Structure 1
Amino acid sequence: MSKQRGWAPYLDLIRWNRPAGWLLLLWPTLGALWFAADGWPGWHLVVVFTLGTFLMRSAGCCVNDVADRDFDRHVKRTAQRPVTSGAMSVKEALALGAVLALLAFGLVLTTNRVTVLWSFVALAITLVYPFAKRFVSIPQAVLGIAFSFGIPMAFAAVQSNVPVFAAWLLAGNLFWVLAYDTEYAMVDRDDDLKIGMKTSAITFGRFDVAAVMLSYAIFLAVWTWAGASRSLGVLFFVGIAIAAGQAIWHWRLIRERTRDGCFKAFRLNHWLGFTVFVGVVAGYAIR
């Protein structure tokens, strides 16, 4: 590492100053931990999955920026990313990503064999996603699987197996990812059309806003069913209602399809996820 550069490019690469990204992964993962444990899962697993989520999301950013470096220079919002701008080499970015992934794997090793096995699947999906944007019309669906994989791993860590209930939570969360990453894609739609990138915002076309809102509705419906099936109390449903209110607010932000409005809606999604998570915790607390 050059002394002249310092740590700035490395911190920028992992989006250190933009925590909203890894919080989008954290809240459904922790929610799944509570469901899997039928309440408080213990400090060990909370710490493992919190740190692991941050590390793996950061590693994913390293891989993504390397894969997209030739595309990012043509997009206003991403042209100054470290690898694209030349502030960091491809080898440096991949080396950092490998170190972060190994640290996350070290945390997984403190759980059990089933979780370790699932972690390899999670890593594979993390590596595949950056290239999906070249071939898949709705790559956000692939991202939805990648960003939801903390859910089956949480169940594996608590129960040493992954029940069908976890699959339902993952499927529901996938639609939340589709909602907020479509908002994100709406910001860059003009640039993506010029460079031939495939995104859900382009695929949905004039139905993009409707697709976002339908995805929010499916996510909230599935997680509402999940909480009801576990007899969570009124506070859980209050959390769901507040999250639904936030989704309606996001509709107001994206309905005109302005860059600022769509980007603001995307950035605020971690609060929607946090609200659902708090509802799960509160529901178990008073059950």
Structure 2
Amino acid sequence: MPERPAASLPDAVRGHWADRLAPAALRPYLRLARIERPIGWWLLLLPCWWSAALAAIAGGQPWPNPVHCLLFLIGAVAMRGAGCTYNDIVDRDLDTRVERTRGRPLPSGQVGLKGALAFLALQGLVGLAVLLRLNGFAIATGFASLGIVALYPFMKRFFWMPQIVLGLAFAWGALMGWAAAFGSLALPAFLLYAGSIAWVVGYDTIYALQDIEDDEIAGIKSSARFFGERVRAGVGLCYALALAFLMPAFALAGAGPAAFAGLALFAGHLAWQVARIDRSDGALALRLFRSNRDAGLVLFAGMTLDCLLRLA
């Protein structure tokens, strides 16, 4: 089967370096890891950075640990790629039934199953190398997430809210920054994790609006289908829950005005997303989904500024 250009995939970044500069033989594997769709690793990374910043606030540090933040960046890229590769291996038959996904490397024949499995192992080794640079408790915490990651691709077959399981996996970084800093977990980290889960469920519900018609035909379950005509209220509820958990997490960690200002801007961005949701507009759904990177960076900036102001 001839290779389908990545530009035909509606959620790919146009003109990404992976499609212009990478050797042709590597491009299908880079697409398998969603390298040309960086929003995924950003959204996996942000709870890690939030957790590192919250730990810095609680520990009276002038900034989040830069080594940890760099390790989390490398790990997020590797493990997001591994997760996508695993997801595509499991979903290779389902993906042929959905317009947005049938051009992916496995269902389109650009990558074979054995090649995908080898690539999955390689990415997993990179993630392991990163994890082993942390303390023993953080290493154990990281390994504890693997069961949830393994379970997620199967949930859309029988569970109406698979986004909850995605949230459990994608928000795990909200525990990692704290675990890496203190070698333990405490209530602020658990509250941050709960808030991050609700955030993931909200933004992935928006993302699922792109596939709602094909999902109905293929019998794939999603929170977008579950909420139906009330999807705006559903996403609004998820985002409200996120804020309800994040506020006490900040307070218990001893956050100051800058962190809460960042949280207020984050809340305003989430409210803007909810107001813009249009169940029939898939292109808008993709733009709103991607905007969560900016929302998350604003929150991280507020938390980091809160740390820096302690130096004054």
Q: Whole-Å Cα distance in 1 between the matches of residues 125 and 227 of structure 2?
A: 37
State which of 51, 67, 86 in structure 2 corresponds to 1:32. 51
Q: What residue in structure 2 maps to residue 8 of structure 1?
A: 27
Q: Whole-Å Cα distance in 1 between the matches of residues 274 and 197 of structure 2?
A: 19
Ranges in structure 2 where 5+ consecutive residues have no aligned partner: 1-22
Residues 1:212 and 2:235 are matched in the alignment: yes
SS in 2 for 1:69: coil
Matched residue type, 2:220: M
Residue 59 (structure 1) shift: 0.3
State which of 63, 73, 76 in structure 2 corresponds to 1:53. 76
Deviates more, 1:141-150 or 1:37-46: 37-46
Change (3 A) 1:212 1:28: same
Residues 1:157 and 2:176 are matched in the alignment: no
Q: Whole-Å Cα distance in 2 between the matches of residues 147 and 184 of structure 1?
A: 14
Change (3 A) 1:286 1:107: same
Q: Whole-Å Cα distance in 1 between the matches of residues 240 and 253 of structure 2?
A: 20
Residues 1:17 and 2:36 are matched in the alignment: yes
Residue 155 (structure 1) shift: 2.0
SS in 2 for 1:102: helix
Q: Deviations over 1:130-165 (max 9, x none)?
A: 111112210000000100111222222111112222
Matched residue type, 2:50: G
The answer (yes or no) to whether the contact 1:180–1:266 under 8 Å persists in 2 is yes
Q: Whole-Å Cα distance in 1 between the matches of residues 34 and 243 of structure 2?
A: 28
Residue 230 (structure 1) shift: 3.1
State which of 240, 251, 256 in structure 2 corresponds to 1:228. 251
Deviates more, 1:35-44 or 1:126-135: 35-44
SS in 2 for 1:286: helix
Q: What is the percent sequence identity of the aligned residues?
A: 38
Matched residue type, 2:29: Y
Deviates more, 1:270-279 or 1:231-240: 231-240
SS in 2 for 1:197: coil
Q: What residue in structure 1 maps to residue 192 of structure 2?
A: 169
Residues 1:270 and 2:293 are matched in the alignment: yes
The answer (yes or no) to whether the contact 1:233–1:286 under 8 Å persists in 2 is no
Q: Whole-Å Cα distance in 1 between the matches of residues 248 and 137 of structure 2?
A: 27
SS in 2 for 1:275: helix
Alignment of 1:1-287 (within 5 A): 5-37=24-56, 38=59, 39=61, 40-287=63-310
Ranges in structure 1 where 5+ consecutive residues have no aligned partner: none
Residue 255 (structure 1) shift: 3.5
Deviates more, 1:222-231 or 1:74-83: 222-231
Q: Deviations over 1:206-232 (max 9, x none)?
A: 221101011112212322322233332
Residue 253 (structure 1) shift: 2.7
The answer (yes or no) to whether the contact 2:188–2:253 under 8 Å persists in 1 is no
Over 6 Å off, 4+ runs: none
Q: Whole-Å Cα distance in 2 between the matches of residues 133 and 94 of structure 1?
A: 22
SS in 1 for 2:99: coil
Residue 70 (structure 1) shift: 1.0
Residue 5 (structure 1) shift: 4.6
The answer (yes or no) to whether the contact 1:243–1:273 under 8 Å persists in 2 is yes
Q: Whole-Å Cα distance in 1 between the matches of residues 108 and 240 of structure 2?
A: 39
The answer (yes or no) to whether the contact 1:227–1:280 under 8 Å persists in 2 is no
**TM-score w.r.t. length of structure 1:** 0.94
